[in-house]
Amino acid sequence: MPLSAFKALVREQFYLLVLDTEAALAALPSMLPADADTRRKAYDLIKQIMSARGEFSAEDKERMLRIARAFGVEEASTTVPNLTVISSARQEQAKAS
């Protein structure tokens, strides 16, 4: 595949994710392998890449928590640097707004 075609494909995928993030996240579990160890390794790789640029912002923490849930590795949220679990009250408040 030529580089220009690859770039166009990545750009298209990016815009699809931007347009409907919730649908993309909801579809993610069905695209993951059934093997928990493989999902854990993939999640750890994402975490490693994300943490390479430094400390996580609050938004990064929220995203990593959602990704961990989608990957079925919720307990991994405690191993993400500077990640704090969001309280139930805060989650309910976010849903209400």
For 53-81, the pLDDT digits (tens) are 899 999 999 989 999 999 999 754 444 44
Q: Going by C-beta distance under 8 Å and a sequence separation of 6 or more, which residues neighbour residue 77?
A: 64, 65, 68, 83, 85
Question: Which token pair is 23?
Answer: 């649908």
In whole angstroms, what is the distance from residue 63 CA to residue 83 CA? Answer: 10
CB 74 within 8 A of CB 68: yes
For residue range 15-47, what is the model confidence (pLDDT) as tens digits? 988 999 889 888 889 999 999 999 999 999 999
Radius of gyration of the chain (CA): 15
Domain residue ranges in the chain = 1-31, 33-97
* Among 64, 70, 62, residue whose Cα is nearest residue 31: 70
